[in-house]
Amino acid sequence: MQLIPKDEKFFDLFREQAENIHKAAQMLVSLFDDYREVEKQVSEIKFIEHKGDQITHALMMKLNKTFITPFDREDIHALGSALDDVLDLVDAAASRLVIYKVKQVTPGAQQLSRVILHGTEIILKAVAQLNKPQNMLKYTEQLTLLEEEADHIKGQCIARLFEHSSDPIEVIKWKEIYEVLEATTDKCEDVGNVLEAVVLKST
């Protein structure tokens, strides 16, 4: 039995955005793993972020024009905004590599990018199964665990940074990059929280 009445356009837009986010996260991992032609790779992520803005705009326009929505209007708005936030932070992390003229990436940054990628994989599965509450709660728990993992990795990275770097400028640069990467997993968890709320209201 379907718990949430389908409006295919809303669900299509959510899935398209989740796919877009996952693609950006894949590109972020590729950037950290193959740190060449950095500006080109970063501009490709920026292109994906622009596409995401268009999807968010289309979603909000549809929300304003739709009288009966598949679930609470505030939850549709919150989910669209949370997905957009994830994509914005993936782009922000990549952009800082160019802004700060980073010459070489760290293993910690690579590790955090993979945690983000895992988070976007979970989001993609979750968004595709909005009408299956038993699966949704599993996915939201996984996103919470990933956020905790990223927070732990960030802490280790910053501790190593203060211990081993003698250049205060490098410390400032990398501390912010680590924080933006970890904040991306916070936003992934926010997506999970909205999805959980949607499902709980529908049961």
Indicate the residue type of 14: F
pTM value? Answer: 0.92
CA-to-CA separations, 57 to 61, 63, 64, 77, in angstroms, rounded: 6, 10, 11, 11
Per-residue pLDDT, 8: 64
pLDDT < 70 stretches in the chain: 1-8, 131-133, 203
| pLDDT confidence of residue 133 | 65
Query: Which 3 state secondary structure label does DSSP give 196?
Result: helix
CA–CA separation, 75 and 78 (whole Å): 5
Say if CB 134 and CB 21 are below 8 A apart: no
- Residue 70 is predicted with a pLDDT of 77
pLDDT digits (tens, 9 = 90+) for 16-72: 999 999 999 999 999 999 999 999 999 999 999 999 999 999 999 988 887 787 788
SS3 string, 97-156, reads: HHHCCCCCCCHHHHHHHHHHHHHHHHHHHHHCCCCCHHHHHHHHHHHHHHHHHHHHHHHH
So what CATH class is 8-202? mainly alpha
Domain-by-domain residue ranges, the chain?
8-202
Per-position b or e across 130-154, b if 16+ CB within 10 A of its CB: bbbbeebbebbebbbebbebbeebb
- What's the confidence (pLDDT) of residue 7? 54
* pLDDT number for residue 131: 65
